Amino acid sequence: MRLQFMLSEIFGGVRRNKSMVISVILVSMVSLFFLGSGLLAQRQVDTAKGYWYDKIQVSIFLCTKQSDTPSCATGAVTDGQREQLRSELTDLEPLVKKVYHETSAQAYDRFKEQFRNSPIVDSVPKDSINESFRVQLSDPTKYDVVASSFQGAPGVESVEDQRGLLDKFFAFLNMLSLSAVALAAVMVVCSILLIVTTIRQTAFSRRRETKIMRLVGASAFVIHLPFIIETMLATVLGAALSVGLLWTMVHYGISGFLTDNLSGASGGLLSFIGVADVWAIAPWLFGGAVVLAAMTSWLTLRRYLRV
């Protein structure tokens, strides 16, 4: 089929079915917007994880005089135990990226600074604050390796992973991402049903043409092609609009508001996704739109447009 002829057939089909084509565009836009939001939420989780995991550390608290855990039976950590622990940490390179040693005095100063407005400061004796090794890991998920090596070692009171504190926050973001994907799934079902209805209606309004095409011996491909292209154009346009919406949301809502207010050079709470992430997921949305249109129209045409 010549391109010009095919284009005129497609244009004719769109003109006849304007309202249905517009609804396919809008439903694809909404479903792909939800899908895109889900993907972006997932990327937000990854971005935030990366940001926090760079900052958080595993803390190995050393024994004080007051410690009552079995590993602290000998009292406060000795110099020998401390050096032993330090060399063991060095042995764990490259998993261990950096080790800071915080003395009891430094820890007490930090404690005083944090609770400067609280009367609790006066009731806590200086030597009850643990000195510690703050360990930064190259892969924070391998916390277990450090914990199992040092938990219960002589001179170690406890090993704590700050990552645990953030897990709830990430779980919340993950849930948000899953909800968006679940909504997207429902909307995708809506789009499939709508596309099926639209194609059936288009096939009905064009039944005379298709009958003639069949009679003169046009192949199934030629008969189906205008329907498939028409559906594909509508869903791809929907995808383009959803990418536009996501871009607007990220550009003005996240980059333009949250990032300025909640993060930045001053060392904020979080790092946020940017428009680059929208461009990164855009090909998936367009790909999804094309696959959705092609699969749905192919199956519908096989069922409703016999050749």
Partner 1 sequence: MILFDNVTKKYSVKDAPALDGVSVEIERGEFVFVVGTSGSGKSTMMQLIIREQLATSGQVLVAGRELSRLPTRKVPALRREIGTVFQDFRLLLGKNVYQNVAFALQVLGKPRHAIKQLVPETLELVGLDGKEKRLPHELSGGEQQRVAIARAVVNKPSILLADEPTGNLDPETSADIVHVLERINRTGTTLVMATHDTSIVDNFRRRVVELHNGRLVRDQARGVYAQAAD
Binding site for partner 1 (CB under 8 A): 1-2, 5, 12, 208-209, 211-220, 222-223, 307
Comparing CB distances to partner 1, the nearer of 20 and 213 is 213
Q: To 10 degrees, what angle do helices 163-205 and 275-304 make?
A: 40
For 300, residues 6+ apart whose C-beta sits below 8 A from its C-beta are 195, 196, 199, 200
Q: Residue 224 Cβ, how far from partner 1 at the closest point, in Å?
A: 12
Q: How far is the CB of 276 from partner 1 (least distance, A)?
A: 44
The DSSP letter of residue 59 is E
Least Å distance between CB 260 and partner 1? Answer: 57
Nearer to partner 1, 163 or 206 (CB): 206
Closer residue to partner 1 (CB): 15 or 168: 15
CB distance 167 to 66 below 8 Å: no
Q: Single out the residue of 156, 305, 164, 143 nearest to residue 225, CA to CA.
A: 305
Which CB, 4 or 117, lies closer to partner 1? 4
203 with 305: CB under 8 angstroms? yes
Least distance in Å: CB of 203 to partner 1?
A: 16
Nearer Cβ to partner 1 (116/208): 208
Is residue 254 within 8 Å of residue 272, measured between CB atoms? yes
Q: Are 244 and 35 in contact (CB under 8 A)?
A: no
Beta carbon of residue 214, minimum distance to partner 1 (angstroms, whole number): 7
Show the tokens assigned to 303. 């069922």
Task: Find the shortest distance in angstroms from Cβ 24 to partner 1.
Answer: 23
Q: What is the DSSP string of 204-253?
A: HHTHHHHHHHHHTT--HHHHHHHHHHHHHHHHHHHHHHHHHHHHHIIIII
* CB closer to partner 1 out of 178 and 212: 212
